[in-house]
Chain A
Amino acid sequence: MAFRAAEYERFTGPRRKAPVWWPLFTATLRRGWSSKWVRRITFASMMMALSFTAMIYFAYQVIPNWRDLVQQFGGAFQPGNEEVVIDSHAYLGLLRMFVYPVLLPLSLVFGYDLVAADLRSNAFESYFSRSITPLTYLVGRTMAFVAFLMLVTFVPVMWIWTFDVAIGPDGHFAEVAAVPLGMGAALLTTAIMLALLMQAITSVTRSGIWTNLTFVAVFLFSAPLGGTLVGLTDNYDWMAVNPLHCIYVFSAVCMGTAERLPPGTASPSLVLGIMTGVILASTLVLWRTLARRGVVG
């Protein structure tokens, strides 16, 4: 573009019919991807999946009956279980592997400044005086956030699952058939909860640093708090104050293996209630912020 005349011109080109939230969705993805930490975590997640599949492959090459050995001797590490079965329930461990080191840090670096930046730059005035409404804003931002979280967790897990099914013995597919749907539902709900929670916190703090501190504090202190409360009351439902525990129990419910959860876990119905509550409360906080601070004129 060598030269552009500094004259105003009317636009005569075509206009598209894409939904209003679509530009927000793509802009949020672009913005997230521009962070080097987001790229690093994404890369680490993909590497984890590749390493895991490579490990399974080499295990087959070196010890062809490794699966039987794990099933026979793995029970020694699990009191009460005589035998470890590599089925849908075993994938809960894999889910933990992606939730703790991938999903949580990614939520932090992707969403820590999402709404806060718009509040600070008064972007709502620009958005709401155009075709964007508070609802489309919420949909656009949250869908991008959730899509990214799913891409970085669900896709690698499915890669591992596909590999496991492909090289597993006959009948193994039936044992892990519940994984795609169950894992998808668990990760999707978890991603929605984290995306909304993160945005709600950032809309209240209006600061990236305070959002990160609040988020870390919630996940860091809730585990010892839950343990302490269980110790004081002897009621394992107190474990549900820990969001990670809720995610774990909820995932087991999604995979249809809730009855095989070890003793000392909160009741699934309570966990379901808490996760629904977090999603609704976060949405409410966000909605109030958008309605209050998005005033035009």
Chain B
Amino acid sequence: MAPPVLELDDLVVRYGNFTALKGVRAQFQGGALGLLGPNGAGKSSMLRSILGLVTPASGTVRLFGQATDKDPAALRRRVGYMPERDTWVGGMSAVRGLAHLAEICGFFPDDAMLRAHDVLHFVGLGEERYREVHTFSTGMRQRFKLAAALVHDPDLLFLDEPTNGLDPRGRNRMLELIERVCHEHGIHLILASHLLPDVEKLCDQVWVLDQGELKKSERMETLTAAARGAKRVRVERAAVPTFLAAAEDAGFELGTGRSDTEFVLSRGETADVTSEEVFALASSSGVRLLAVQAAARSLEDAFLEALTGEAD
């Protein structure tokens, strides 16, 4: 059995007195992983640990079954990193710059140049490949960064906000490119993004980080299926205790809503909650319902729940 693509074992990263990652323990078996978290959550520290650029205070990071502190340079050849900030090698055309990066990853010069041409064609910059990158538009720079991450044919892609600054058409095009690379060629993906629809579209697994801790590690279908068939119910403030007691007595599972008078009624993952059941519950407990609607939980709901510690 192949080892996990990424394995964090009690990972602690410290910068002086500040602890950026507090004993994170997780496994990514492969596929596409969405890395979510607010600013300062520890995403960059995790990335730097994965690339072997910081030495953990304790714990280990294993990439493709190998500890990253053993031979980080060799492991980095298997990772394609697309940073959030623009980056290119100055004084070179796009194609020459990419060939240079491929050579750094062990390509022979001729192969590197050929590969640079191919990858630039793939991301749609074939016609612009002899231009210097600083003359590119924002969308072109994003595509160039994706090309730079792909040029040495990595086994794992780490993309940091790949759709930043793109218009809707450009964003769709970028997501489509990433999807093709990862799904058709078996390249594993770790996607860090604040745009949850992007993560929802591309990823099959999600890690939610906050304040250096891993708050949630779930498969996407589990996250979104958790509230399948549930109902979002809003009641009068004075009736909240009565309604909660009645719902518990009737065997419903209760989740928090968007306000303190709103709740999500469910019966686990197996059975749906019907509107008739909700009306019957309200009638039997004498509570007046203000709203009843299907509680389709999005990734955003799961993310917010994970951050506020109110999940499940």
Contacts and interface: CB of A to CB of B under 8 A. Distances in A.
Q: Can you list the 10 inter-chain pairs with the closest CB atoms, starting with the nearest?
A: A117-B90, A297-B44, A15-B106, A23-B103, A11-B153, A121-B90, A131-B73, A129-B81, A297-B47, A122-B87
Interface stretch (A2-10, A69-77, A183-191): A2-10
Contacts of B22: none
Contact of B89 (A7, A16, A126, A128): A126
B84 to A, nearest CB: 9
A14 B83 contact: no
B122 A131 contact: no
B88 A123 contact: yes
B76 A129 contact: yes
Interface stretch (B4-12, B59-67, B180-188, B216-224): B180-188
A8 B80 CA distance: 14
Contacts of B44: 297
Given A130-B152, A133-B73, 16 more contacts: A6-B121, A6-B122, A7-B122, A16-B106, A17-B106, A23-B103, A117-B90, A121-B86, A121-B134, A125-B85, A126-B83, A129-B79, A129-B83, A130-B76, A131-B73, A296-B51
B311 interface: no
A128 B53 contact: yes
B167 interface: no
A127 interface: yes
A24 B104 contact: yes
Interface stretch (B107-115, B193-201, B255-263, B274-282): B107-115
B45 A121 contact: no
A20 B48 contact: no
A263 interface: no
Nearest to B148: A126
Among B51, B53, B91: residue with most chain A CB under 10 A: B91
B104 A127 contact: yes
Interface in A110-151: 113, 117-118, 120-123, 125-133
Nearest to B84: A297
A31 interface: yes
25 contacts: A4-B126, A5-B121, A6-B121, A6-B122, A11-B152, A13-B107, A15-B108, A16-B107, A27-B92, A113-B90, A121-B90, A122-B85, A122-B87, A122-B88, A123-B89, A125-B83, A126-B83, A126-B88, A128-B53, A129-B83, A130-B77, A130-B101, A297-B45, A297-B47, A297-B48
Interface residues of A, number: 39
Contacts of B160: 297
Contacts of B115: 11
B47 A296 contact: yes
Given A117-B91, A125-B83, A128-B53, A8 B122 contact: yes
Interface string B121-158: 11010100000011000000000000010101100000
A6 B126 contact: yes
B105 A131 contact: yes
A130 B105 contact: yes
B100 interface: yes
A1 interface: yes
B81 to A, nearest CB: 4
B104 A121 contact: no
Contacts of B90: 113, 117-118, 120-121, 123
A34 B90 CA distance: 13
Interface residues of B, number: 50
A296 B83 contact: yes
Interface in B174-220: 180-181, 184-185
Contacts of B45: 297
Contacts of A122: 83, 85-88
Contacts of B121: 4-6
A113 B184 CA distance: 42
Interface string A23-37: 110010001001000
B69 interface: no
Nearest to B48: A297
B94 to A, nearest CB: 12
B203 to A, nearest CB: 19
B117 interface: yes
Nearest to A117: B90
Contacts of A297: 43-45, 47-48, 51, 53, 83, 160
B53 A23 contact: no
Contact of A1 (B83, B103, B117): B117
A122 B47 CA distance: 18
B185 A8 contact: yes
A16 B111 CA distance: 11
A132 B106 contact: no
Given A15-B106, A15-B107, A8 B86 contact: no
A125 B87 contact: yes
Nearest to B145: A126
Given A8-B184, A123-B87, A133-B73, A13 B111 contact: yes
Nearest to A24: B104
A23 B160 CA distance: 26
A133 B92 CA distance: 21
A20 B53 contact: no
Contacts of B134: 121
